Amino acid sequence: MDVNPEHAHPFIDAAAPTHPSLIDTSHATGDLFGFVNIPMAVWIDEDGNLVRPAEAASIERSPMRDMDIPDGLPERLDRAFREIKKFPEVANEYRAAIVDWAHNGAASKFALSPDEVVQRSQPRPDTHARAAACFEMGQHLLRTVGHDAAVPYWREAHALFPENWTYKRQAWTLITTPADATENDLMQGPNDVYEGNWLDDVIAGGGGESYSVVPQL
């Protein structure tokens, strides 16, 4: 999910995957599947039916969870690490569930019925739907008019749907990453364009514990 495919290319090239690696330049998968953060995943069976809705999709325990936070870090970086260490950890269980489904298909206890898939999908009140329209309008104006034209719509999307991290992170990274940088600024700190930033919004949303859509396995 990247508004600019050029931003995705280095990651794809480095991974050299044997599976299809696709780019969603319009964040359409957010509307269509309910992705609100990354990594998230859906499972689709051989007939094209979803058997699990959008949920956090980490399959490896992050080394950041086990590392010791060095003394003397800048205050915001220290706090960011502490919030990251609070992220819910179900990577091993989620990976095992994928393997179970791969082997057992519809007989897997992790493959849900169509009704369960719909009921467990992300909530979509009117505010979230309007946020999606605003975010898409912003993407369109970014491409056709320029960045400044996108900002009001992205600000509205953030206000309407504060739990949607893809809307925020996509917008923030275009502000906080210098034009000549070789890597994105993942801290996405305070800036003059948007009211929020990564760390303060994580804390406002309930802390690292609330940062992801935890799979209910």
Partner 1 sequence: MILQTLENVTTTHVADRTGWTAKAEGMCRGEICVPAPGALRDNGTVDINVMANRLGMPLVHDDNTGVWALGPATATGRALSTAAAADPEFIDRSGHPFRLSSLRGRKVLLVAWSSY
Instruction: Using alpha carbons, list the distances in angstroms from residue 161 to 23, 86, 151.
Output: 23, 22, 15
Number of residues interacting with partner 1: please give it, by CB under 8 A: 78
Residue 173 CB, shortest distance to partner 1, in Å, is: 4
Q: Within positions 168 to 197, which residues make up the interface with partner 1, using CB under 8 A?
A: 169-170, 172-173, 184, 186, 188
Q: Within positions 152 to 171, which residues make up the interface with partner 1, using CB under 8 A?
A: 153, 166, 169-170
Site string for partner 1, 54-73 (x = CB under 8 A): x--x----------------
Place of tokens 């923030």: 172
Stretch that binds partner 1, among 62-70, 82-90, 115-123, 200-208 (CB under 8 A): 115-123
Q: Within positions 131 to 150, which residues make up the interface with partner 1, using CB under 8 A?
A: 131-134, 136-137, 140-141, 144-145, 149
If the CB atoms of residues 59 and 77 are measured against partner 1, the closer one turns out to be 59
Residue 157 near residue 196, CB atoms below 8 Å: no
What is the spatial distance between Cα 16 and Cα 12, in angstroms, rounded to a whole number? 6
Residue 198 near residue 189, CB atoms below 8 Å: yes
Evaluated on CA atoms 41, 34, 39, 66, the torsion sign reads: negative
Residue 213 near residue 54, CB atoms below 8 Å: yes
Phi-psi region of 97 (alpha: psi -120 to 50; beta: other; left: phi over 0): alpha
Q: Within positions 3 to 42, which residues make up the interface with partner 1, using CB under 8 A?
A: 5, 7-13, 20-25, 28-29, 31-35, 38-42
Stretch that binds partner 1, among 61-69, 80-88, 114-122, 204-212 (CB under 8 A): 114-122
Residue 70 CB, shortest distance to partner 1, in Å, is: 25
When asked if residue 80 is in the footprint of partner 1 (CB under 8 A), the reply is no
Among 83, 84, 122, 190, binds partner 1 (CB under 8 A): 122
Peptide bond into 114 cis (omega under 30): no
**Length of the chain (residues):** 217
